[in-house]
Chains A and B, each alone.
Chain A
Amino acid sequence: AQSVTQLDSHVSVSEGTPVLLRCNYSSSYSPSLFWYVQHPNKGLQLLLKYTSAATLVKGINGFEAEFKKSETSFHLTKPSAHMSDAAEYFCVVSGPAKAAGNKLTFGGGTRVLVKP
């Protein structure tokens, strides 16, 4: 079984300051991990993915995430928040590979508020 825990339901940052969204996962196999973003009334958009290559993954819009197997974590960061980063962010684990397709298990989400 696999699960994802996002440690903060809400994060509030000032524009221009760093953003940190925390995610821990549980998996009995080598997982693929993703971060998706969801803007209001919009579809989920892939920010980045980890698939057992480099542990530091760079995504779109200046986001990056680091896979730490020893801590079972996959935290998302951005050095400088922009107003357009206000959205809901989901940490996601995929698999197992033997299962049908690449079924995703979502965390509960973290809502990011960016203050001017």
Chain B
Amino acid sequence: GAGVSQSPRYKVAKRGQDVALRCDPISGHVSLFWYQQALGQGPEFLTYFQNEAQLDKSGLPSDRFFAERPEGSVSTLKIQRTQQEDSAVYLCASSSRGSQGSPLHFGNGTRLTVT
């Protein structure tokens, strides 16, 4: 079936605006992850869901970042009062199992630019 889908592909926000980034994982995938990739760097973990439960949010950089997955499928990453340092590519990934060694399937990401 289709891969992981993220929208929008690009988002430009003025400093202080709120943004919402959407992720549609592969159908039936239990695990869903959000990563943040700053320019020229590797992705960094933000948060993890197993079905609708957010089991790990240790990577969220501040309380302005909030993620949800209410029905265990689509997930939304919300950033409130955006700052310039939030500019990055936000990657969503899903996998069929939550076990170590299960490969993640990544979406193409949302490139957020805060001006």
Binding site for B on A (CB under 8 A): 32, 34, 36, 41-46, 49, 51, 90, 94-97, 99-109
Contact = CB atoms under 8 A, between A and B. Distances in A.
B42 A103 contact: no
A28 to B, nearest CB: 13
Nearest to A88: B42
A97 B103 contact: no
Interface of B: 3-4, 31, 33, 35, 40-45, 48, 50, 55-56, 91, 93, 95, 97-109
A47 to B, nearest CB: 10
Contacts, number: 76
Contacts of A106: 42-44
Contact of A100 (B42, B98, B101): B98
Contacts of A101: 31, 33, 48, 50, 55-56, 95, 98
Interface centre among A101, A103, A108, A109 (most CB of B within 10 A): A101
A102 B101 contact: yes
Nearest to B111: A41
